Amino acid sequence: MNRTEAKEKAAALVAKMTIEEAASQLLHSSPAIPRLGVPAYDWWSEALHGVARAGTATCYPQAIGLGATFDHDLLQAIAASIALEARAKYNAYSQLQDRTRYKGVTMWSPNINIFRDPRWGRGQETYGEDPVLTATLGCAFVEGLQTKQDGYLTTAACAKHFAVHSGPEALRHSFDAKATKKDLWETYLPAFEALVKQADVEAVMGAYNRTNEEPCCAHSYLMEEVLRGKWHFQGHYVSDCWAIRDFHEGHHVTAFPEDSAALALEKGCDLNCGCTYEYILQAYKQGKVSEEEIRRSAVRLFTTRYLLGLFDHSVLDEIPYNVIGCKEHRELAYQAAVESCVLLKNNGTLPLSLKDKKRVAVIGPNADSHAALVGNYNGTPPLSITVVEGIIRICEDTDWDVNYAEGCLLYDDPAIRKVFQNYRIPEAVALAESCDLAILCVGLDATLEGEQGDVGNAFASGDKPDLLLPKIQRDLVEQVLATDTPVILIDLAGSPIDLSAYEDQVSAILHAWYPGGEGGRAIADILFGRVSPSGKLPLTFYYNDSPLPDITDYRMTGRTYRYLEGKPWKPFGFGLTYGELQITEAKVSEAEHTRENSSAQITLHCQNPTGRDLSDVIQIYVHVNGSANEVPNHKLAAFERIRLEAGTDRELRIEIPAVAFTTVDDSGNRNCDGTSATLYVGFAQPDLTAEGQKTYEYGRGQILEIPLH
């Protein structure tokens, strides 16, 4: 069914409704209208990295881990599998007359906000700090969720949170995010534009905060001029949950709930997650809301329901419940976990060999933590394999002796009675001293970083106070290192953790994010060389003592690899493998230049000279020369994951879109104003030397120059 047909059917149905009935459909929990054959429907469902909060479902790595895969094909496949599981749940629950929250097929994912500040607790829900990476992976995720069968959408995706939203969590209900036009169009809006114009995302969700004084769920510029005007968005707009209530309670742009409802509806917010639209009829009676506005939004919402085939029979109704957590989906989750893990340091210890008899200690609060596998906005994985469980599976029936000690709590919780401070650390130290190797699993979970109010959180309502491990974990690491037993450090966290203090003392560092239900199996397979790690950092890992702008400062100056001054601990795009692919040739094979438009095609020859199958990510960065509006460093233009068997080679072509050769001026206009462009082609971003020259310390790449006309 196409949109025109769906809209016609929606308009005909809404025309039969009373004004009261139409208004009732604008709340996330929409009641049934029996006389018109309209069943109840709750719009609120989540699918960030698997069907969330609706019971058992395949749990993929947290979104930031999916960002680390740099693999758009994988994300589309994952999202398509999530859509199948969501539809299977909807079919089963509907048969049981269960139409409650989290059981629908309108999925409020993906989160395509920019992870601009490493302290932001919800950064784990994003694909990282770069707009091109975010846009590419976000489009793939939307296309997967909105896979069509029988002409209908399997599920409907939602781009959130529009726009300019990335903390602070504690202030979001009253905060005004100030963004320049340049930052808006260069950083904060490109991913939303791509999802609307390229992926045809069905819904957009407004943020809690204000942006440049207007609340994001009633924003003249963002919603009317940009979204509906410039981008011609045809889907529906939904508020974040209880965000419209913030108009009068937090932002104080209105005085009463009726005014808040009227303002949001006028600006085009069709669906209210929350309760403020319960006042729409009262606002209507007061003359603050028109019947036309109410019916306009109802038509948009029913257009989505028709596009989903919710009033027609189709093959989607036959998707069986047994697709949920099936073996195929779990293997996809395993692949994603492998591709997401980022090897930050390796002195040659990894991969481990099972040939030698060893006694190993697996230590740390995240070694046997199921919470550290799933992050937030998660479902319950059908099988949840922790790190120590994964290691035990590999080592059983071998001469390796695996031992476990928790070592310490995730953080020092005063509510938990202890014999004395750090009382579990001595056990971990004693175990490490008795072993040949210690695998130390540290990090965070959703109780230490996440959404404001989502969990009982010790640190700043979801945001982190700094980039260090909690103090009790630092004590554990330092005391285990003092034993002189070789240590492999595994970090499970949804954001950057500065482990530089231990880098010279440990054999290897693996950042595993929140790797999903199959995470322990994937990590163990990486440790023992069954697979090679191949994840890349989707955001900059800063030194904790480097000055960061205040989290309330939304200017991009000094933020992310594009604007960073100085050298980070680990750069965006960085990640080691067990061997190195090589680019033996790179050239601009085709280039199109016009006054308004320049695009290019890069031809690469890549080889794997090692004896191991490898996967890596080719990254192409661009810097436009001769433009005063270009970012200070360079910017990601394109990327492609490549897999090469041992001893093989391959030629591939990568398109560099015309937009990569443009810059954004202070008025937010995108221009072709450069004289030439420098392209950096490699397996990481170019590195800045002390002299300010761009080299490839990590990237093993080549530098190309092309003219722009």
Active site residue ranges: 240
Residue with tokens 């700090």: 129
Q: Tokens representing 12? A: 């005909």
The whole-angstrom separation of Cα 151 and Cα 84 is 15
Directed axis angle between helix 131-145 and helix 190-197, to 10°? Answer: 30
CA distances from residue 618 to 71, 302, 553, 683, 701 in whole angstroms, order as listed = 11, 43, 33, 5, 9
Q: How many helices (H) and strands (E) does the chain have?
A: 18, 27
Would you say 53 and 379 are in contact if contact means Cβ atoms under 8 Å apart? yes
Virtual CA dihedral for 449, 174, 552, 64, nearest 10 degrees?
30
Q: How many CB atoms lie within 10 A of CB 70?
A: 30
Neighbour tally for 286: CB within 10 Å: 13
Q: Which residues pair with 676 in a beta bridge?
A: 625, 707
Using left for φ > 0, alpha for ψ between -120 and 50, and beta otherwise, residue 162 falls in beta
Sign of CA dihedral 333, 499, 389, 410: negative
CB-based contact 538:62 (threshold 8 Å): no
**Closest by CA position to 50, among listed 150, 125, 121:** 125
Distance (Å) of CA 61 to CA 64, 401, 628: 8, 29, 40
- Extended beta strands in 479-581, E state: 487-492, 508-511
What tokens appear for 119 in the block? 């302290």
| CA distance readout (Å), 613 to 34, 468, 530, 690 | 59, 35, 10, 35
Q: How far apart are the C-alpha atoms of 201 and 204, rounded to whole Å?
A: 8
Which residues lie closer than 8 Å to 271 by C-beta, 6 or more apart? 26, 27, 28, 43, 236, 237, 238, 239, 297, 301
Q: Is the distance from CB of 514 to CB of 356 less than 8 angstroms?
A: no
Between CA 1 and CA 600 the distance in angstroms is 36
Token code pair at residue 528: 């023992």
Within 8 A by CB and 6+ apart from 225, the residues are none
The residues pairing with 405 across neighbouring beta strands, listed in sequence order, are 363
Report yes or no: 69 and 336 within 8 Å, Cβ to Cβ: yes
With both helix axes pointing from N to C terminus, report the angle between 327-340 and 72-95 in degrees, rounded to the nearest 10. 140
Pairing mode of beta strands 437-443, 487-492: parallel
The C-alpha atoms of residue 686 and residue 635 are separated, in whole angstroms, by 10
- 3-class SS string, 669-692: CEECCCCEEEEEEECCCCEECCCC
Distance CA 101, CA 241 (A): 13
Q: How far is CA 133 from the centre of its chain?
A: 10
What are the DSSP E strand ranges found in 398-466?
401-405, 437-443
